Chain A
Amino acid sequence: MSTLSVPLAPPAPPRSTATRVRRALLFLAMVVVAVVMLYPFWFMISTSFHTEAQYQSGHGSSLSSWTSLTATIPIGQQLLNSTLICAASIGIILVVSVSAGFAFAKLQFRGSQGIFLALVGAMMVPLQSILIPEYVNVSRLGLTSNYLGAILVYAALGTPFATFLMTTYFRGLPDELIEAAVVDGLSYPATLWQVALPLALPAIATVTVLQFVQIWDDLLVGLLFLQNPSERPITVGLAVLASGRTTSVPLLMAGSFISAVPAMAVYLGFQRYLVRGLTLGVGK
């Protein structure tokens, strides 16, 4: 830039046309990607406003799948089931992972390192690897005939990563903080409750959001560990209907859209917590 240019004039970058064309092309590319990524949503919504016949022929529109939705799929009950199972599992995961994370990070005891590694190592075990014994054990205990079996399985599957996350988070808190509280006469559990827990709220939010999306969207556990169809969460109910191939496609799409709304809302509202959870453990 020349030293003679008037300070207020916008600096004219060289090759400004080229830059502008480049930006426009980039923008266009992003729009194309957005269209692809939004396709499932567009498909669900547009299909739901047809009857089965209209969907097959591709002409006309109708509200019938929305008006008959609750009569065909027990969507209210299933949403309630999903909410209940998510809340209970996440509750258990939070209680055990916050206390264990605090213990591993701040209350080292003999063998704490080993227990921590064993717990984190359990992350590598996929449910399918233990599916048969898990199913046999849980059903022998009579827990597949109520919510408890699925809740416990979700809790156990979510605990390793949650514990890892909480431990990492608590390690970031200064030891002096805990020591000061203990010197002041607080017991260790009281220190966790009154000092560490309020500071850990961001990590707790991350665990909650990650687990919510995971459990809400899951199929396998709900499919096998809830033998009572009236206790099925919405995702499982939809998958079973879809695999039966007798329910009309527009109706399924209306139900799918409803099922997707809570997870999308949580995701859009708490995006940064999800992102933090995903990239945890990678250096800054």
Chain B
Amino acid sequence: MTALVTPVAQSRSSVRAERPQRMRLSTQRRLTGLLLSLPALALVVGLVVIPIVQAGYYSMTTWNGITSTWIGPGAYTQTFHNPAFWQVLTNNGLLLLSVPFALAIPLLIAVLLHERVRGWRFFRSVYFLPTAISWVVIGMVAERFFAYQGPLDKILGTHTDFLGNSSTALLSLAITFVFSMIGTNTVIFLTGLATLDSTVQEAAFVDGASRWESFFHVTLPHLKRFVQLAFILTVISAFSALFSLIFVMTGGGPGYSTTTMEFFVYQTGFSQSQFGTAALYGIILFVMMAIVGIGQLKVIRSE
């Protein structure tokens, strides 16, 4: 800048000199932001979003891996006439009945741990330990546990093959599922209890509330968001994480008595090579999950 420029001009020109710099910085920021988010976006679009669109298309065809015929939305009405489909859907519904147990038992355990009895840290680790092992491994142990003349038969004094019997197979699966969820849900509730202000509880006691009353009127309302989290996690798991257990324990049988929608997709696609129908079941599963997710969002928003 020359000395001839008046102060006014000088300040004006310095603004002019600064503006492109600032513009460049914000452009740079936006551009970097876009570029940095692209790899994640590409990965998820390529391997999740595009396939879900494809699944929607496949679901309306009779594709067996080699030949494919377009049926259109009629494929769905055809499915609704398939009794196996309804049995599978019923199994999913019945498994939902295990969700209260998968929440209540961990809640009780968390409350026990929160009493901070001697060694509670050790017990906490022990209770969470099964969470680390694969449901494949849990399923293998459970298969022996429920087997004919297995440990459960000995405990109950019965002679039943619990997994081979269509009236007890799903219940056995549900019990294994509840067991598998205990560690995760206990930790969620325990984290929630740790945030509880103990003075509030003491105040309740001073006011003459019983342990029971203080639990239902102070503790439980406080844990609401943690219960919601455990609930959604448990329902998602019931719908989409049982594959390992079913694969190892029953293979979906006897008949369709332990086949859930997620296993039905695998079975239909890879045992029967009906890719089109399998894709359709996948879409149904997606809709089920979406209903749970949207329901959950509504509950959270309404608060």
Q: Which residues of A contact B (CB under 8 A)?
A: 23, 26-27, 29-30, 33-34, 36-41, 43-44, 47, 92, 95-97, 99-100, 102-104, 106-110, 112, 115-116, 118-119, 122, 124-137, 152-153, 155-157, 159-160, 163, 182, 187-189, 192, 213, 216-220, 223-224, 235, 238-239, 242-243, 249, 252-253, 256, 259-260, 263-264, 266-268, 271, 274-275, 278-279, 281-284
Q: Which residues of B contact A (CB under 8 A)?
A: 25, 28-37, 39-41, 43-44, 46-52, 54-55, 58, 109, 112-113, 115, 117-120, 123, 125-141, 143-145, 151, 179, 182-184, 187-188, 191-192, 195, 225-226, 229, 236, 239-240, 243-244, 247-248, 251, 261-262, 265-266, 269-270, 275, 278-279, 282-283, 285-286, 289-290, 293
Q: How far, in Å, is B275 (CB) from chain A's closest CB?
A: 5
Contacts of B54 in A (CB 8 A): 130, 133, 136-137
Query: B117 touching A30 by the CB < 8 A rule?
Result: yes
Query: B36 touching A192 by the CB < 8 A rule?
Result: yes
Contacts of A38 in B (CB 8 A): 126, 129
Q: Given contacts A37-B130, A124-B289, are A130 and B52 in contact (CB under 8 A)?
A: yes
Distance A102 CA – B131 CA, assembled complex (angstroms): 30
Contacts of A23 in B (CB 8 A): 115, 117-118
Query: B188 touching A278 by the CB < 8 A rule?
Result: yes
Q: Given contacts A37-B182, A243-B248, are A271 and B128 in contact (CB under 8 A)?
A: yes
Q: How far, in Å, is A101 (CB) from chain B's closest CB?
A: 8
Q: Given contacts A26-B117, A271-B125, are A217 and B133 in contact (CB under 8 A)?
A: yes
Contacts of A92 in B (CB 8 A): 43
Distance A238 CA – B143 CA, assembled complex (angstroms): 14
Query: B134 touching A260 by the CB < 8 A rule?
Result: yes
Distance A192 CA – B290 CA, assembled complex (angstroms): 35
Pick the contact of B44 from A122, A137, A249 — CB < 8 Å?
A122
Q: How far, in Å, is A77 (CB) from chain B's closest CB?
A: 18
Contacts of A218 in B (CB 8 A): 134, 244
Query: A30 touching B130 by the CB < 8 A rule?
Result: no
Q: How far, in Å, is A243 (CB) from chain B's closest CB?
A: 6
Query: B289 touching A43 by the CB < 8 A rule?
Result: no
Q: How far, in Å, is A228 (CB) from chain B's closest CB?
A: 17
Contacts of B195 in A (CB 8 A): 284
Contacts of B35 in A (CB 8 A): 103
Contacts of B117 in A (CB 8 A): 23, 26-27, 30
Q: How far, in Å, is B30 (CB) from chain A's closest CB?
A: 4
- Give the interface centre of A39, A137, A219, A252 by most chain B CB atoms within 10 Å: A219
- Give the interface centre of B117, B188, B226, B229 by most chain A CB atoms within 10 Å: B117
Other than A44-B141, A132-B275, A235-B137, give 8 A-B pairs with Cβ distance below 8 A: A99-B37, A103-B32, A128-B261, A129-B285, A133-B50, A134-B51, A260-B133, A278-B191
Distance A223 CA – B269 CA, assembled complex (angstroms): 14
Query: A107 touching B32 by the CB < 8 A rule?
Result: yes
Closest to B284 in A: A129
Query: B130 touching A40 by the CB < 8 A rule?
Result: yes
Contacts of B34 in A (CB 8 A): 103, 109, 112
Tell me if A's interface is mostly helix, strand, loop or mixed. Answer: helix
Closest to A239 in B: B136
Q: Given contacts A133-B54, A264-B132, A275-B187, are A119 and B44 in contact (CB under 8 A)?
A: yes
Query: B239 touching A156 by the CB < 8 A rule?
Result: no
Pick the contact of B58 from A109, A115, A133 — CB < 8 Å?
A133
Contacts of B279 in A (CB 8 A): 132-133
Distance A250 CA – B247 CA, assembled complex (angstroms): 20
Query: A104 touching B37 by the CB < 8 A rule?
Result: yes
Contacts of B191 in A (CB 8 A): 275, 278-279, 282
Distance A43 CA – B137 CA, assembled complex (angstroms): 11
Contacts of B286 in A (CB 8 A): 125-126, 129
Query: B269 touching A132 by the CB < 8 A rule?
Result: yes
Q: Given contacts A33-B109, A112-B37, A153-B47, are A267 and B131 in contact (CB under 8 A)?
A: yes
Q: Given contacts A128-B243, A275-B191, are A99 and B36 in contact (CB under 8 A)?
A: yes
Query: B128 touching A189 by the CB < 8 A rule?
Result: no
Closest to B225 in A: A282
Closest to B145 in A: A43
Q: How far, in Å, is A187 (CB) from chain B's closest CB?
A: 7
Query: A159 touching B44 by the CB < 8 A rule?
Result: yes
Distance A281 CA – B300 CA, assembled complex (angstroms): 12
Q: How far, in Å, is B48 (CB) from chain A's closest CB?
A: 5
Query: B51 touching A137 by the CB < 8 A rule?
Result: yes
Q: Given contacts A26-B112, A243-B247, are A130 and B48 in contact (CB under 8 A)?
A: yes
Contacts of A115 in B (CB 8 A): 37, 41
Contacts of A192 in B (CB 8 A): 36
Distance A125 CA – B117 CA, assembled complex (angstroms): 41
Distance A223 CA – B267 CA, assembled complex (angstroms): 13
Pick the contact of B247 from A106, A108, A157, A239 — CB < 8 Å?
A239
